[in-house]
């Protein structure tokens, strides 16, 4: 064991070289392929950013049109997927449904099991993932609410199509609100990549065994689900609602979070890498105010969030540990204002993170990285002899 360095949670271990995302946790800097997140979230579309992450450069008009057209052409999913969906209980969490449906693509497209797929075949898998994930996400939500699923509308842009599949009802005319579609597009950009986080490392790890791209992405969705990762956006709103129901005393929950005998943590606070501020949270906080204002929504939970943030930022415990609001602290408030149910928040995160996972999977493959296989320091029993059951 002499040569093995122990690093639980890989706090200090670089697992790969990567040219995709730059993150400076001390300065609060985030760039995709060199482009500032502040710039991209203001000026680009989600599909442009997806292309940038996956293929390394911003697309020119012809490349963008081709990418968009191909994704639009693949939005429909095999009709048998509805049978899989029907097998889930109606209370199934949409994240579990989503990861299962994504994994099922390996059955519908068994060519993806071949690790020596050509670049063209890999690109087709990438397009399928980008195209079908919104359909699956919307269907996972419909399963939960008990409504019939909607088929994709290929006359619409990426986010408008997603919203229509999520919210349109057969008996009613549905018009996508452009404010909602634009806000969603911005949120997806902010979530699109974040270097070697838990879910991305999972995608690379599973992919390193040469499992199919669909199985690798499905694994990433499962890793994202947990409350310490993408699941935090759902937990934040649940926490804020609990504070509201409990009389709105933010200070009480701050004390709970500081109490080492209490497992409660302030959800949406703290980050493994950001020790200054999370630049995404800054953008999202401003967007929350804007979106709520433009939609004319007033949400008492936003006031509690601001109060809690203010109290935490001025509290010695949080100052000492450099704990700041992260991307998940305010995103749920926007999702709520857009009418998205709480248990769909992490699904929205997954939709945003998809191009990042794909880009990282592709880079891992192109760099011909070895199988991921960490070591350990064994601390168990020494050698001993087997004892028959009647002698124990």
Under the binding rule (CB under 6 A), the answer on residue 323 touching ligand CMC is yes
Under the binding rule (CB under 6 A), the answer on residue 334 touching ligand CMC is no
Please state the closest distance from residue 176 (CB atom) to ligand CMC, in A: 27
Of the two residues 112 and 197, which places its CB atom closer to ligand CMC in the complex?
197
Which one of 157, 193, 278, 328 is the catalytic residue? 328
Q: Which of 21, 75, 150, 326 binds ligand CMC (CB under 6 A)?
A: 326
Q: How many residues bind ligand CMC (CB under 6 A)?
A: 20
Is 229 part of the annotated catalytic residue set?
no
Q: Which of 142, 271, 336, 362 binds ligand CMC (CB under 6 A)?
A: 271
Please state the closest distance from residue 338 (CB atom) to ligand CMC, in A: 19
Of the two residues 147 and 272, which places its CB atom closer to ligand CMC in the complex?
272
Phi, psi (rounded to 5 degrees) for 228 = -80, -10
Give the three-state DSSP class for 155: coil
Under the binding rule (CB under 6 A), the answer on residue 135 touching ligand CMC is no
Considering only 82-90, 113-121, 285-293, 321-329, which stretch makes contact with ligand CMC by CB under 6 A? 321-329
Letters for 176-215 (x = contact with ligand CMC by CB under 6 A, - = none) are ---------------------x------------------
Cα 81 to Cα 79: distance, rounded to the nearest angstrom: 5
Q: Are 219 and 39 in contact (CB under 8 A)?
A: no
Which one of 193, 271, 278, 343 is the catalytic residue? 271
Is 74 part of the annotated catalytic residue set?
no
Phi, psi (rounded to 5 degrees) for 151 = -85, 155
Q: Are 332 and 345 in contact (CB under 8 A)?
A: yes
Cα 52 to Cα 174: distance, rounded to the nearest angstrom: 32
Q: How many CB atoms lie within 10 A of CB 293?
A: 11
Considering only 114-122, 135-143, 320-328, 377-385, which stretch makes contact with ligand CMC by CB under 6 A? 320-328
Of the two residues 96 and 226, which places its CB atom closer to ligand CMC in the complex?
226
Encode 44-83: b = buried (16+ Cβ within 10 Å), e = exposed.
bbbbbbbbbbbbeebbeeeeeeebbebbbebbebeeebee
Letters for 7-46 (x = contact with ligand CMC by CB under 6 A, - = none) are --x-------------------------------------
Cα 335 to Cα 341: distance, rounded to the nearest angstrom: 8
Under the binding rule (CB under 6 A), the answer on residue 356 touching ligand CMC is no
Encode 274-288: b = buried (16+ Cβ within 10 Å), e = exposed.
beebbbbbbbbbebb
Residues in 211-240 that interact with ligand CMC by CB under 6 A: 228-230, 232
Residue 362 neighbours by CB under 8 Å, 6+ apart:
54, 122, 126
Q: How many CB atoms lie within 10 A of CB 214?
A: 23
Please state the closest distance from residue 323 (CB atom) to ligand CMC, in A: 5
Give the three-state DSSP class for 371: coil
Q: Which of 321, 367, 374, 375 binds ligand CMC (CB under 6 A)?
A: 321
Considering only 78-86, 146-154, 325-333, 334-342, which stretch makes contact with ligand CMC by CB under 6 A? 325-333
Q: Which of 85, 130, 327, 351 binds ligand CMC (CB under 6 A)?
A: 327
**Which among 280, 285, 276 has a CA at the least distance from the CA of 313?**
276
Under the binding rule (CB under 6 A), the answer on residue 364 touching ligand CMC is no
Under the binding rule (CB under 6 A), the answer on residue 251 touching ligand CMC is no
Return the H-helix or E-strand segment holding 36: strand 35-36
Per the DSSP assignment, residues forming a β-bridge with 35 are: 32
Give the three-state DSSP class for 21: strand
Which residue has the CB atom at the shortest distance from ligand CMC?
270
Return the H-helix or E-strand segment holding 235: helix 232-245
Burial of 254 (0-12, 13-18, 19+ CB in 10 A): buried
Q: Which of 48, 157, 309, 328 binds ligand CMC (CB under 6 A)?
A: 328
Under the binding rule (CB under 6 A), the answer on residue 265 touching ligand CMC is yes
Of the two residues 135 and 235, which places its CB atom closer to ligand CMC in the complex?
235
Residues of this chain that interact with ligand CMC (CB under 6 A) are 9, 197, 228-230, 232, 257, 265-272, 321, 323, 326-328
Q: Which residues are catalytic?
A: 271, 328
């Amino acid at each position: 064991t002499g040569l093995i360095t122990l690093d639980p949670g890989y706090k200090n271990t670089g697992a790969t070289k990567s040219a995709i995302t730059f993150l400076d946790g001390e300065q609060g800097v985030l760039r995709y392929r060199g482009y500032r997140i502040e710039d991209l979230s203001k000026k680009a579309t989600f599909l442009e950013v997806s292309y940038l992450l996956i293929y390394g450069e911003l697309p020119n008009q012809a490349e963008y049109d081709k990418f968009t057209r191909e994704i639009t052409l693949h939005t429909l999913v095999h009709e048998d997927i509805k049978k899989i969906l029907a097998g889930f209980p109606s209370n199934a969490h949409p994240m579990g449904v989503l990861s299962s449906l994504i994994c099922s693509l390996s059955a519908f497209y068994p060519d993806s099991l071949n690790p020596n797929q050509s670049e063209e075949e890999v690109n087709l898998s990438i397009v399928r993932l980008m195209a079908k994930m919104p359909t699956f996400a919307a269907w996972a939500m419909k399963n939960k609410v008990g409504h019939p699923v909607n088929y994709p509308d290929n006359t619409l842009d990426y986010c408008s199509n997603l919203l229509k599949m999520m919210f349109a009802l057969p008996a009613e005319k549905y018009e996508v609100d452009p404010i909602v579609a634009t806000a969603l597009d911005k949120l997806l950009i902010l979530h699109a990549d974040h270097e070697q986080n838990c879910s991305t490392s999972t995608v690379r790890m599973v992919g390193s065994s040469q499992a199919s791209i669909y199985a690798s992405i499905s694994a990433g969705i499962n890793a994202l689900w947990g409350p310490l990762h993408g699941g935090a956006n759902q937990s934040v709103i649940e926490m804020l609602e609990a504070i509201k129901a409990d009389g709105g005393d933010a200070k009480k929950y701050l004390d709970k979070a500081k109490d080492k005998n209490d497992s409660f943590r302030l959800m949406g606070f703290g980050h493994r890498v950001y020790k200054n501020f999370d630049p995404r949270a800054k953008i999202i906080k401003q967007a929350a105010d804007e979106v709520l204002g433009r939609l004319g929504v007033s949400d008492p939970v936003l006031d509690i969030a601001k109060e809690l943030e203010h109290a935490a930022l001025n509290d010695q415990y949080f100052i000492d540990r450099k704990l700041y609001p992260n991307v998940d602290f305010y995103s749920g408030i926007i999702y709520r204002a857009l009418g998205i149910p709480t248990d769909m928040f992490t699904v929205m995160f997954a939709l945003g993170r998809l191009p990042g996972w794909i880009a990282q999977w592709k880079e891992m493959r192109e760099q011909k990285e070895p199988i991921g296989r960490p070591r350990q320091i064994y601390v168990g029993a020494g050698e001993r002899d087997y004892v028959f059951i009647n002698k124990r």
